[in-house]
Amino acid sequence: MKTPEEYLESLKRDTIVYIMGEKVKEFWNHPLVKPSLNAVMKIYELAQISEYQPLMTAVSNLIGERINRFTHIHQSVDDLIKKVQMQRLVGQKTGTCFQRCVGFDAANTLYSVTYEMDKKYGTSYFERFTNYWKEVQQKDLMVAGSMTDPKGDRSKRPTQQTDKDMYLRVVEENEEGIVVRGAKIHQTGYLSSHRTIVMPTMALRSGEEAYAVSFGVDTNEKGMTLVMGRQASDTRKMEENIIDTGNYKYGGHEVFVIFNDVFIPSENVFMNGQIEFSGELVNRFAGLHRQSYGGCKPGKGDVLIGATALISQINGVPNVSHIKDKIIEMNLLNETLFACGVACSALGFQREAGNYEMDMLLANVTKQHVTRAPYEISRLAEDIAGGIICTMPSYADFNSEEVGHLLKKYLNTSDEVSVEDRYKIIRFIENFTMGASSLAYKTESLHGAGSPQAQRIMIGRQANVEEKIGFVKEILDLN
């Protein structure tokens, strides 16, 4: 397994990305990217610490060696539970998106889907994928996952779009491989990753075979154009006084990835035209990724609750009844999310390929709660922190010779806590609930792994209301 330093060095490849209008080659030195790399480096660091190895590592069923759990194929219900516990741990250590979940969930999806495709069609996708993933495990690579297409006019199917590239598709094929064109947007941690797994974004129909494609590719492959997305208050990371950033050590990022006729060799293609399995691939990935939110969001929630409790202490109000009750409510909501993540894992089952998958209904219930609770937790944090999180002067003013001493005088609340520490915590809460970190906590909670209606559709399909009606009929002896 890689050390954090080895991981960082391994990313220093010929990759070009556009960041705020600038063409950047050595992206690892860019202030908007560094916090993301720090967050991923924390994963590599934790895997090296013996105390955390039961959660952070596992023994591979593919290569028989101890590996980073983020590259593991789940082999038991215990693995599913440890996944959620691990994600909470990393969230607690970084307070942000650590970017490694999407590729993790994509791998576990493809493991079973490729096996079932081969069984039906006599293809060799399972062998291709397992060979590809063995290398990922052996080299301890960071792998992203790419599912979301631009989609164009949402009322139209892929082939009905005026521009057929609104959904990524195969435009050329020969014995050596395929050529793909299109885009994948909102790509979490793309610059932090060595590779990505590309998947279709929806269930496809007859005539849409060109869009039913899945493959693995290096994130710096020839023909890709990368454009980094913006976040609220992101330019604070570029200022000299990084204390105003809030969470100045760790962060996440999103990238728009345009595939300009990119060649994919056959050995890295894991689906090509099998429309019957496209919907199942999307559903399984969505379920596994919705399970993930029962781990990562409670970990970040722990951090926000900690910051809120700390600011209440600094402000001298930790024992005020309504403050105590609000922090209890924050913990209740946060632990509910974790309980859902553990529950869907505990009721996991084994697929025909041999890997384990969570309970689909409860995974969707988990994510539906995640679309709501972080917003209420954030509201309570802002309530307790006070309006100063929106009005506090800059750190440059805080340290200026002219007005700094006045700000330090009037921002002081306690002789036991430094004014600077209070400043840092206020900025941290601001960043968490309405700044760049709010992407990783609030907005991602709403839209990541599918927007709220997607989970409600799945819950409606799987809740089996007819069975519940049957329970009543049996109890009451109804026909």
Question: Tens digit of pLDDT for each residue in 415-468?
Answer: 899 999 999 999 999 999 999 888 889 999 999 999 899 999 999 999 999 999
Residue pair 46/56 in contact (Cβ under 8 Å)? The answer is yes
The token pair that represents 5 in the structure block: 């330093």
Identify which of 378, 433, 444, 419 has the alpha carbon closest to the alpha carbon of residue 189. Answer: 444
Q: What b/e string do you get for 50-63 counting C-beta neighbours within 10 Å, with b at 16 or more? A: eebeebbbbebbbe
Beta-bridge partners for 143: 195
From 97, 109, 148, 248, active-site residue: 97
The token pair that represents 379 in the structure block: 């509201």
Concerning whether 52 is annotated as a catalytic residue, the answer is no
Say what the pLDDT of residue 240 is.
87
From 125, 248, 293, 441, active-site residue: 293
CATH number of this structure's domain 280-470, picked from the four choices 1.20.140.10, 2.60.120.260, 3.20.130.10, 1.10.3720.10: 1.20.140.10
Identify which of 243, 194, 101, 188 has the alpha carbon closest to the alpha carbon of residue 439. Answer: 188
From 96, 296, 382, 423, active-site residue: 296
From 101, 201, 211, 250, active-site residue: 101
What is the DSSP secondary structure assignment for residue 443, as one 8-state letter? Answer: I
Concerning whether 340 is annotated as a catalytic residue, the answer is no
From 94, 201, 211, 254, active-site residue: 254
Write out the E strands in 31-176.
57-59, 66-68, 143-146, 169-174
Q: What HEC string does 250-287 produce?
A: CCCCEEEEEEEEEEEEHHHEEEECCHHHHHHHHHHHHH
**CA gyration radius, the chain:** 24
Say what the pLDDT of residue 288 is.
98
Own/partner pairs, 235-240, CB within 8 angstroms, 24+ separation: 236/435, 236/436, 237/31, 237/32, 237/34, 237/35, 237/436, 238/31, 238/32, 240/396
Concerning whether 444 is annotated as a catalytic residue, the answer is yes
- Residues lower than pLDDT 70 in the chain: none
Virtual torsion, Cα 251, 47, 145, 258, nearest 10 deg: 60
Concerning whether 289 is annotated as a catalytic residue, the answer is yes
Q: Which DSSP helix (H) or strand (E) runs through 347?
A: none
From 188, 201, 219, 371, active-site residue: 188
Listed in sequence order, the residues at least 6 apart from 304 whose beta carbon sits closer than 8 Å to its beta carbon are 95, 330, 377, 378, 381, 429, 432, 433, 441
CB atoms within 10 A of CB 459: 16
pLDDT digits (tens, 9 = 90+) for 59-74: 999 999 999 999 999 9
From 289, 356, 371, 430, active-site residue: 289
Concerning whether 390 is annotated as a catalytic residue, the answer is no
The answer to pTM > 0.85 is yes
Concerning whether 254 is annotated as a catalytic residue, the answer is yes
